[in-house]
Amino acid sequence: SPAFLILWGPGLFRLTCYYYRKAYYRSFWLAPAACTVRGAHGSYSGETRFPLILQNLHRYAWYFAVIFIALLTWDAILAFRFPDGIHMGVGTVIMWINVLFLAGYTFSCHSCRHLCGGSVNIFTKAPGRYGLWRFITRLNERHGLFAWLSLFSVGLTDLYIRLLSMGVIRDLRIF
């Protein structure tokens, strides 16, 4: 499938995500097992050695993720176009839900939060950035939820579009 050609972008963003890191660090490496476990910090070197140093690519992968959000938004806009005019089908709704979940996951990321307000030392001198930082901070509290919702929405959206393109199902038109 041609989709495998672009998989590196979203894959790198998810693989280096802090939310997922916690899960696979503890699951695969047991490092750190927990913050209060005695002796756990002695063998834990952080992300200073290979392959963990590659986790630092997350901030750069975020920029690629934003590009993919823009492309998926454009696809969702085009989903309103039917051969006989402008309409909305179930597929259009599914595509928009997918975009919203992916945007929630991408823009609730700590990298976005840092970009919007992380370099500001005095928020009273940048009230717009402070407001944006506070909004993204509230989104960031639900980053794990967005991670799971977007993961499943991508799979289900791709499956729905694949079944439509193969003629297995027909898209129901809402209007």
More confident residue, 26 or 64: 64
Amino acid at 114: H
Residue-averaged pLDDT of the chain: 85
More confident residue, 156 or 39: 156
Q: Write out the two tokens for 1.
A: 């499938």
pLDDT value of residue 150 = 95
Q: Write out the two tokens for 166.
A: 């193969």
In our burial notation (b when 16+ CB lie closer than 10 A, e otherwise), range 91-104 reads: bbebbbbbbbbbbb
- Worst-scoring range by mean pLDDT, 26-35, 120-129, 150-159, 166-175? 26-35
- Exposed, middle or buried by CB within 10 Å (0-12, 13-18, 19+), for 90? middle
pLDDT of residue 27 exceeding 80, the answer is no
More confident residue, 24 or 142: 142
pLDDT of residue 111 exceeding 60, the answer is yes
> Average pLDDT in the 122-131 region?
86
pLDDT value of residue 33 = 56
pLDDT of residue 71 exceeding 90, the answer is yes
Element (H, E) at 7: none
pLDDT value of residue 146 = 96
- Cα distances from 24 to residues 15, 32, 52, 113, in angstroms, run 10, 11, 12, 23
